[in-house]
Amino acid sequence: MRKNIVAGNWKMNKTLQEGLALATELNEALAGETQKCDVVIGVPFIHLASAVAAVDANKVGVAAQNCANKESGAYTGEVSAAMVKSTGAGYIILGHSERREYYGETSAILNDKVALTLANGLTPIYCCGEALDVRNANEQNVYVKNQLEETVFNLSAEDFSKIVIAYEPIWAIGTGVTASTEQAQDMLAFIRTIIAEKFGAVIAENTSILYGGSCNAKNAPELFAQPDIDGGLIGGASLKVADFKAIIDAF
Ligand code: 13P
List, in sequence order, every residue forming a beta bridge with 5; answer none if it has no partner.
38, 231
127 CA: nearest ligand 1 atom: 10
Cα–ligand 1 centroid distance for 202 (angstroms): 29
Residues of the chain scoring pLDDT < 70: none
Residue 204: the pLDDT is 98
| Ligand 1 in reach of 173 Cβ (< 6 A) | yes
Q: Between the CA of residue 3 and those of 35, 105, 150, 165, 230, what are the distances in Å?
A: 12, 28, 25, 12, 7
SS3 of residue 162 by DSSP: coil
Catalytic one of 98, 105, 130, 168: 168
Catalytic one of 96, 98, 105, 130: 96
Q: How many CB atoms lie within 10 A of CB 75?
A: 12
- CB distance 221 to 250 below 8 Å: yes
Cα–ligand 1 centroid distance for 211 (angstroms): 10
Residue 35: the pLDDT is 87
The residue whose C-alpha atom lies closest to atom 5 belonging to ligand 1 is 235
Q: Give me the CATH topology for the region 9-170+190-210.
A: TIM Barrel (3.20.20)
| Ligand 1 in reach of 152 Cβ (< 6 A) | no
What's the rounded Cα separation, in Å, for the pair 103 and 35? 36
In sign, the C-alpha dihedral spanning 110, 116, 122, 123 is positive
Residue 33: the pLDDT is 85
The residue extents of the domains of the chain are: 9-170+190-210
SS3 of residue 133 by DSSP: helix
Nearest to 237 by CA among 209, 217, 210: 217
Contacts of 62 (CB under 8 A, 6+ apart): 40, 41, 43, 48, 51, 52, 55, 87, 88, 89, 90, 91
Residue 1: the pLDDT is 86
Question: What confidence tens digit (pLDDT) does each residue in 205-248 have?
Answer: 999 999 999 999 999 999 999 999 999 999 999 999 999 999 99
Question: What confidence tens digit (pLDDT) does each residue in 184-213 have?
Answer: 999 999 999 999 999 999 999 999 999 999
Q: Between the CA of residue 239 and those of 53, 133, 196, 244, what are the distances in Å?
A: 19, 29, 35, 7
Active site residue 168: yes
What's the rounded Cα separation, in Å, for the pair 166 and 44? 19
Q: How many CB atoms lie within 10 A of CB 182?
A: 9
Residue 32: the pLDDT is 87
Contacts of 195 (CB under 8 A, 6+ apart): 160, 165, 203, 204, 207
Residue 86: the pLDDT is 98
What pTM was estimated for this model as a whole?
A: 0.98
Residue 6 CA, chain-centre distance (Å), reads 9
Q: What is the DSSP string of 77-129?
A: T---HHHHHHTT--EEEE--HHHHHHS---HHHHHHHHHHHHHTTPEEEEEE-
